[in-house]
Structure 1
């Protein structure tokens, strides 16, 4: 026969002479009943927890199987992707090399063209300098001829301003025409 907490709490005892203290026995029985009730609740909770853990374990086993299958499939996909990526990388490298060769060829052509333009510009500059020098010498010759034919004009002292004294003396003492180029 199973004893329940209620059986313990309501258990009655026969009284004998010089027997036990009835209130002390009742208090003890109440404590035992309460403890037994707590233990029964705890046992039921633990049984429920074990059942839940068994369900979780089954779920984990199923998940583990699915994960292993997924990992295997992912490994196969990774292998295929690696092969595809290597093939694509080779194509990209070949394309990049072709473009680099084309850029190098174009750069060489542009460099040759730039050198040719620089050479042409130097030639034009030298030609321009020679023409400019010849023109300057022709003008200098004209100025010198003009000085020979024109008499020197002396300004009267009254017209010599102090500011102009320096400029006039420089012009008179200078044998070089302002148009001469060295």
Structure 2
């Protein structure tokens, strides 16, 4: 059991012949009691301070752990946001490429349709030219045959060029 200031104060020494001066011993013990009480008070204060510091340290450790968790969560969230943004960007790019492909295919289909229409119109023009040429050749042949036979042609081609057609 530890020694208390009261134990020091109440300590009785045996009296022997040729011993120490009782007054000096009592003064010394009084000083020891005061110093010992001061040391005990200081010790209690230091214990209380150490306990408070320990509590603050635990709070700081908890705060540190919370900050670490928050940082990890923030990093995780940032990574998730990056992944989501990349997916969204990829989806937008894929959609745009698909749209561009459809537009290109539609334009190519229109080009093919226009080329087919152009070919059809060329064929019609060729047919029309051939018919016109055939008609003109038959008219020329008719004119030639009428002039050779000495008869005047009949119909619109038979009228003189100077006269207006009625």
Q: TM-score, normalised by structure 1?
A: 0.39
Higher relative contact order (CA 8 A, sep 6+): 1
